[in-house]
Structure 1
Amino acid sequence: MAAYPNSGRNFKKRNDFGPRRNERIKATQVRVIGPDGSQIGVISRDEALRLAKGHGMDLLEVSANTNPPVCKILDYGKFKYEEDKKQRTQKPHAAKLKEIKLGLNIEPHDYETKLRHGEDFLYKGNKLKISLMLRGRQMEQKTLAFDVVMRACKDLEGVGFMDGNPTLAGKNIIVTLTPLAANKRKLKFNLEQDEPPAEGPDEKA
């Protein structure tokens, strides 16, 4: 059984934040909703507090801008627990940085496999780093290496865009891509996939 936070059912005034409850409610008359959702009607705040206490529950002000304010009799500890749980599940996931590594003389099949993975990462809302390492005498072929990286970016433009031009860092040519908006992503290498997810990525690194 879930352990809920302390509901503070001692009905003392307290300085916590959030909707007013119990004796923090200032109105002398309130419209009360029962714990089962039934309309109890307009009664004094003190009477509403007595009703809440009789149920072993709290009186929570759920609509302060009406006249009189609307209050509900409920278990505040359980209510707060459920609200916090809802916020945690609705919180979007932070985008993850994925990476694919290319080679200067990469074979067409390997290139397509790498791009398929890269497209999938971007399609699911992840950022993507493309890197190409130049080994030994390949440093003399930097122009060709940049062309390979730019070709990959061009092939992935249906799902992402470059944050900036590719750069040479040591022996690595690097570029980072950001995913397009979910409703604008179009697949090229993974055409069997469904529509892009509305929320953030759930792919493990």
Structure 2
Amino acid sequence: MFWSHSGYFLPAFIFKKIGRCSNIKELQINEEIREKEVRLIDVDGNQLGIMPTKKALEVAYERKLDLVLVAPNAKPPVCRIMDYGKYKYELSKKEKEARKNQKIINVKEVRMTPNIDEHDLKVKAKRAIDFLKNGDKVKVSVRFRGRELGHTDAGKEVLERFSELTSEYGVIDKHPKMEGRNMIMYLVPKTE
């Protein structure tokens, strides 16, 4: 018996069907397959035909392998004879390799005001250059307060000067655009 989120006890087989205990990627193997007839495929990918599940299990056991339900929605369902442990290991290796090869791009933000001094602008640009050298995307925002909102052209000039200072290491991905009280521009590292 398991305790459900609604406050009632549920038998284990109902709880498993809800999906709390089972992994979505898990396939039905051997005795878990409840179909009467299945289309059987051997290790080499050759079709052995449609047969009762018990006979398909016997064929799998004779070869000392597992019977795996690979297409449960097909008519009749398709089973394959394979080493299930080896199959799961290969899948986990592929997923690990895919995760290792993907590049994570972080977005770093640099904030300024429309009336920023030249020296402060250079300091912010130097910081953005460090982010770009690390391969990060940079979000540059100019925040307008009060009456500054009437002079958005000053913010655009600041962003243009900023892009000139960082032009050696980054290029504009998204041009300056107003979003609420902020004018935002995105820079990405230059590709060689």
What TM-score, normalized to structure 2? 0.53
Report if the CA contact (8 A) 1:98-1:127 is conserved.
Answer: yes
Match of 1:60 in 2: 68
Higher relative contact order (CA 8 A, sep 6+): 1
- Structure 2 unaligned segments of length 5 or more: list them: 1-15, 17-21, 111-116, 141-153
Deviations 1:155-205 (A, max 9, x none): 55533567989xxxxxxxxx88465xxxxxxx8xx5x72xxxxxxxxxxxx
User: 1:158 aligns to what SS in structure 2?
Assistant: strand
Deviations 1:29-53 (A, max 9, x none): 1111101211111111111111112
Name the counterpart of 2:40: 32
Runs of 4+ aligned structure 1 residues displaced above 6 Å come to 162-165
Q: CA 1:162 to 1:149, structure 2 compared with 1: closer, same or farther past 3 Å?
A: closer
Q: Deviation string for 1:95-145 (max 9, x for gaps)?
A: 235689xx9459x9xx89x75983883xxxx32267xxxxxxxxxxxxx9x
Q: Which runs of 5+ in 1 are unaligned?
A: 1-14, 131-143, 166-174, 180-186, 194-205
2: CA distance between counterparts of 1:66 and 1:94? Answer: 38
Aligned amino acid, residue 161 of structure 2: R
Equivalent pairs counted in the alignment come to: 148
Matched, 1:158 2:168: no
Aligned to 1:69: 77
Report the aligned-residue RMSD.
4.6
Q: Secondary structure at the match of 1:46?
A: helix
Segment drifting more, 78-87 vs 43-52: 78-87
Q: Which has the higher strand share?
A: 2
- Which one has the bigger helix percentage? 2
Q: Does 2:28 match 1:20?
A: yes
TM-score of the pair, normalised by structure 1 = 0.50
Query: Percent of counterpart pairs with the same letter?
Result: 27
Matches of 2:93 and 2:185, distance apart in 1:
34
Q: 2:159·2:176 contact (CA, 8 Å) conserved in 1?
A: no
Query: Aligned-pair distance for 1:80?
Result: 1.0
